[in-house]
Structure 1
Amino acid sequence: MKTLALFRHAKSDWSDARARDFDRPLNERGQRGARAMGAYIKSTGRSFDRMIASPAVRAAETVEEASKAWGCTFKVEWDRRIYLASSATLVDLLKEISGDPASVLMVGHNPGLEDLIFDLVPDDGSSPLRDVVEQKFPTATFAVLELDIDRWSDVADRCGRLVELKRPRDLDPTLGPVLVD
């Protein structure tokens, strides 16, 4: 059994139309969302043997803000392949993990993270949280999958169960979408 946690980068800033997508920082709501998620992850008592993250500015700032709230720093393995990666690319990256860690936290982007959940978790009712992901996997969402594998090289479609899903708005309604009457 392996544990894979997925953490989508927090809300980014779109105010500079000239900025490259890769260079977009977090906006204020994103900073608050990343800190809220960091505090939440700390409250769960979860720990991770490895953290692999996209080096895009918004992902790096998500790691930084969440780590502040979590109260620890991580040795992060930055991997550019995560940036806007497809599920297939993320699976390939997982299969390459060396050292056989029991748990990995991946920080990245949609639609890749969402699609990875759809590929790893069967659509058979065994993971009711999968239906929530089908509705939306918003920025700064944290998900935990248990994978029925012995080695990371064994990652394959339908090998997992989605056992935890937390969105920023679950912690603070002001971190969710703006609702219009």
Structure 2
Amino acid sequence: MSVAEPRRIILFRHAKADWPQVSDHERPLAERGRMDAAEAGRRLADTGIPVDQALCSTALRTRETWKLAVAEFPQRPKTVYEERIYEASPGELIALLNETPDDLRNVLVVGHNPGMEALTEILAGSAEDEVRKRMSRRGFPTAAFAVLHFTGSWKTVEPGVASLVDYWAPTD
């Protein structure tokens, strides 16, 4: 694949988690989270973007979100469970994306806030007006996702390099 071909980064926040007496890393999804994760999976599948690889935080709620979402995909992409996504800063997430092999075109990251929202804002040097308005109104609630488009090598992912082309969040 040529580095001049367009690439996509999909940033997907885990669905609504429950608050049982367990460590934060081991929090499971709430019932609403399970429904929203499946709906987000359907919406992601509806984009028609063929995801080449998913990078998923090792936290239980992200793993459960991804399992329910990917069940809605026509084809399951390769999934890498990555400890570094949990509690990662936007800079750490960019460094992780910079490690992506250039033969991959579309990468989905299942992670947490504030990282997913901040990374979307940092990477999006431009945005379709309607998409930016929707995201500004909704923020980045649980089970939301943003689709960013850029051209170049994964090593060139840096602030402002991408365009925000799609955004979805479940209704409350």
Map of 2:169 onto structure 1: 167
Which one-letter code corresponds to 1:10 in the other structure? A
Distance in 2 (CA, whole Å) between partners of 1:85 and 1:131 is 26
Match 1:11 to one of 6, 12, 16 = 16
After TM superposition, give the deviation of residue 43 of structure 1 in Å: 2.2
> How much is the aligned-residue C-alpha RMSD, in angstroms?
1.6
- 5 Å-filtered alignment, 1:139-150, equals 139-147=142-150, 149-150=151-152
Any conservation in 1 of the 2:56–2:82 contact (CA below 8 Å)? yes
Structure 1 distance, partners of 2:159, 2:102, is 22
Matched residue of 1:115: which SS? helix
Residue in structure 2 matching 1:152, options 129, 151, 154? 154
Report whether the alignment pairs 1:60 with 2:66. Answer: no
Task: Please tell me whether the aligned partners of residues 121 and 130 of structure 1 are also in contact (alpha carbons under 8 angstroms).
Answer: no
Number of the residue aligned with 2:78:
75
Using structure 1 for the length normalisation, give the TM-score.
0.85
Alignment of 1:38-49 (within 5 A): 38-49=41-52
SS at match of 1:168: coil
Letter in 2 for 1:82: I
Aligned to 1:73, the other structure's residue is in SS state coil
Provide TM-score, normalisation by structure 2: 0.89
Alignment-derived partner of residue 123 in structure 2: 120
Question: Computing the radius of gyration over CA atoms, which structure comes out larger, 1 or 2?
Answer: 1
1 CA distance for matches of 2:164 and 2:51? 17
State the 1:134 CA deviation: 3.8
> Please, which runs of 5 or more residues in structure 2 have no aligned partner?
1-5
Alignment partner of 1:19: what SS? coil
Contact 1:3 1:102 in 2 (8 A): yes
Structure showing the higher strand proportion among its residues: 2
SS in 2 for 1:163: strand
Q: Distance in 2 between matches of 1:143 and 1:86?
A: 17
C-alpha separation between the residues in 2 aligned to 1:43 and 1:132?
18
Match of 1:37 in 2: 40
* Counterpart for residue 20 of structure 1: 23
Letter in 1 for 2:153: R
Q: Partner residue of 1:173?
A: none
Q: How many residues align?
A: 165
**Percentage identity across aligned positions?**
38
Instruction: Please list every run of 5 or more consecutive structure 1 residues that lacks an aligned counterpart in the other structure.
Output: 170-175, 177-181
